[in-house]
């Protein structure tokens, strides 16, 4: 059985993920599919999902900075990133 704390954490992660996808779509002119692939395939998202990091409590802008850094430095992601602008 899922505890209330786990439900709350999962809800926070879902809301954060939605914001990150929306931000990538707006800032990078990504499609929803590209943005979702970028978020869910990132090390940043893995860290957000890990309760011990506490990152799911952080705001979307803070996490977006981490994600942006990862996306611009990881060769796998650079291929799918449209130019910023």
Residue 83 has pLDDT above 70, yes or no: no
Q: What global pTM score does this model have?
A: 0.84
Cα angle 12, 54, 47; round to 5: 85
Number of C-alpha atoms within 13 angstroms, CB side, residue 8? 5
User: What is d(CA 39, CA 24) in angstroms, rounded to the nearest whole number?
Assistant: 9
Nearest to 39 by CA among 61, 62, 63: 63
Residue 74 has pLDDT above 90, yes or no: no
Average pLDDT over residues 19-40: 94
What is the structure's pLDDT at 73? 85
What is the CA 7 to chain-centroid distance, rounded?
19
């Amino acid at each position: 059985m899922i505890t209330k704390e786990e439900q709350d954490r999962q809800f926070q992660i879902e809301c954060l993920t939605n914001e990150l996808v929306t931000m990538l779509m707006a800032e990078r002119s990504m499609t929803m599919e590209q943005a979702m692939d970028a978020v869910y395939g990132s090390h940043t998202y893995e860290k957000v999902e890990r309760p011990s990091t506490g990152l799911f409590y952080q705001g979307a802008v803070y996490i977006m900075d981490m994600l942006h850094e990862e996306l611009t430095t990881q060769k796998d992601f650079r291929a799918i990133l449209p130019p910023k602008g």
